[in-house]
Amino acid sequence: MGTVLGGRKNAGGTAAVLGGGVAGLTAAMELAERGYEVTVVEPTGWGGKARSSSVPGTGTAGRLDLPAEHGFRFFPGFYRSLPDTMRRIPFGRQPDGVHGNLREVPQMLSARSGRVNERVTDVSSLSGPRTPLQILRARGLDPGTGQELSEELLYFANRMMVYMTSSQERRLGQWEGTSWWDFTSAAGASEEYRKVCVVGATRTVVAARAEVSSTHTVGSFMEAFAYGFLGRGASAAADRVLNAPTSTAWIDPWVDHLGARGVRLELGWRVERLSVRGGRVVAASLRGPDGRRSDLTADWFVCALPVDRVGALLDRGLAAADPALAGVASLNTDWMVGMQFYLTEPTAITCGHVIYLDSPWALTSVSQAQFWDVDFRATYGDGTVADCLSVDISAWDTPGILYGKPARECTRTEVAAEVWAQLCDALDDGRTPLLHRGLLHSWHLDPAVKGLDGPGPAHNDEPLMINTKDSWKLRPQAATAAANLFMAGDYVRCPVNLATMEAANQSARAAVNALLAAAGDPANPAVVHALYEPEELRRLKEVDAELYRQGRAHILDTPAPWAERSAVTASAPR
């Protein structure tokens, strides 16, 4: 490979992008559009955790291998930066590019053990905006089902209003350091309240524990979802998926588009070290798949590596570039791992995503064939597979219902059997089960999880960054102390305070903008879309900012009724 970059420079100079996930590909696209000569290096696969793959050897008679993925992808309505990128990636004759491959998801099922109290929520755009009460009922809290639940419904509404009317100063100064568990007063509340509003909201969406997750993070994404359901701030559907495997519908066309724009794409190369001199990065040392070494030189560097790989690079030049980046090593990661069950009959459990609220492993799923624009049986596998039930496993440390062991201590076969058992527990009412063994053709567990079959301990090559309380201060900004180094990734500070594809995209745009500023480049900056903020709440936020400066509580912040009762009971004479 030799020296990757050098020779003729485009008007903007040369740029090296380290990492080919969503952040790296976004940065490459924005820079190429502004005249930079770009090289992207990626060790594993284009698209990072967002990519899809396949199960080798499963396709016969001209059919494709069965599709697989790190975890299913979904595109909430509050995503704005990522859809903008997707519209600019050509796809056939579609006027809106790969964005035209998105399909609305009209339903969400909250599945319960034995199908008791399960709830299907209409999230389609055709139904129009929802009321706040409808949103709360969709969370499983209904004032018509009992006094205790009604009290909890009102208190959860209070929690949402407190966060939604909190100033940015309070969000960063108070709620960033408060766990979602404490903010929602989970201690002393009913098990149902904790399961639906407190624990379920974190484990099934961002693989985080409510006891340690930042209210700043959980509150912000629940706020964004709520505005989407209310029909505020976005014209897009509240929930969308792709009409084919992610790489087919999005990543592969993206890579092709970048190549057509002159971006040099080098797959199989891992960054091992950064060389820093005079406050600038002068080269990145790489190792190729065959063990070859090479130096990558450029005028500008965008580090778009995942958070765990950034941590490993700190003592190999990254901390020398900017000592403040050492905080990345203290960020927490957890597992949110994908598993696919291949079924012999179409099995659309619901027309959308399923959240298994009673699942100890915090499962979520989507039946994919119903959204794909192909005949699944004729396109994939051996001709007998009609559907792919894609499942995310978010809690790997909780004992299961079949073996009594956490997922980390199971073999791969035991993980498959346990997940299937937890799915069946929710979807079998004792009369007509939605899932049964006769449907199951085969299964596939993300190969990024290693060591389940020994030698242990189990580990995950692609963990997800978790926003624990007080972690904001550890997260880097796009610009660094090194004059030509910029950071991009879902752990970098940006408007979407959650490890998502949207955050990866936004951070890359911020990195490009910082690069343009450092270069004195007059090119138009990339748009980093802010989250929606209703004008009606602006004055309340201004009042709260003043209260926070005075050291006073939020005007709506009150203790939970059950906390007050507990205090009275504790102080009563005995």
Measured distance CA(126)–CA(183) in Å, rounded: 34
Residue 87 included in any domain: yes
Measured distance CA(309)–CA(489) in Å, rounded: 11
pLDDT in tens, 460-474: 999 999 999 999 999
Residue 526 included in any domain: no
Same domain, 80 and 57: yes
Residue 397 included in any domain: yes
HEC secondary structure over 440-487: EEEEEECCCEECCCCCCCCEECCCEEECECCCHHHCCCCECCCCCEEE
Considering the entire predicted model, what is its pTM? 0.93
Same domain, 482 and 372: no
Strands (E), 31-177: 37-42, 52-54, 67-69, 102-104, 107-111, 119-122
Same domain, 510 and 544: no
Q: Nearest to residue 20, comparing CAs of 335, 326, 300, 302?
A: 302
Of 460, 492, 508, the position where a domain reaches its end is 460
Q: Which residues contact 507 (CB under 8 A, 6 or more apart)?
A: 23, 478, 487, 488, 489, 490, 492, 493, 494
Same domain, 399 and 444: yes
Strands (E), 268-330: 270-277, 280-287, 293-296, 300-303
Same domain, 188 and 212: yes
Same domain, 306 and 356: no
Same domain, 329 and 476: yes
Residue 528 included in any domain: no
Of 409, 431, 460, the position where a domain reaches its end is 460
Q: What is the pLDDT along the chain (574 residues), one digit of tens a residue?
A: 444 444 334 467 999 999 999 999 999 999 999 999 999 999 999 999 999 999 999 999 999 999 999 999 999 999 999 999 999 999 999 999 999 999 999 999 999 999 988 888 888 877 666 666 665 555 554 544 444 457 888 899 899 999 999 999 999 999 999 999 999 999 999 998 898 889 877 765 667 788 999 999 999 988 998 888 777 776 688 899 999 999 999 999 999 999 999 999 999 999 999 999 999 999 999 999 889 999 999 999 999 999 999 999 999 999 999 999 999 999 999 999 999 999 999 999 999 999 999 999 999 999 999 999 999 999 999 999 999 999 999 999 999 999 999 999 999 999 999 999 999 999 998 888 899 989 999 999 999 999 999 887 899 999 999 999 999 999 999 999 999 999 999 999 999 999 999 999 999 999 999 999 999 999 999 999 999 999 999 999 999 999 999 999 999 999 999 986 655 444 444 4
Residue 26 included in any domain: yes
Measured distance CA(123)–CA(400) in Å, rounded: 31
Same domain, 512 and 433: no
Q: Phi/psi of residue 273, each to 5°? A: -165, 150
Same domain, 353 and 416: yes
User: How many C-beta atoms lie closer than 10 Å to residue 319's C-beta?
Assistant: 17
| Number of structural domains found in the chain | 3
Same domain, 454 and 498: no
CB 254 within 8 A of CB 247: no
Residue 476 included in any domain: yes
Q: Which residues contact 444 (CB under 8 A, 6 or more apart)?
A: 55, 66, 68, 339, 340, 342
CATH number where 323 lies:
3.50.50.60
CB 436 within 8 A of CB 410: no
Residue 251 included in any domain: no
Same domain, 164 and 209: yes
Tell me the residue range of the domain where 472 lies.
14-44+268-333+463-519
Residue 259 included in any domain: no
Same domain, 340 and 326: no
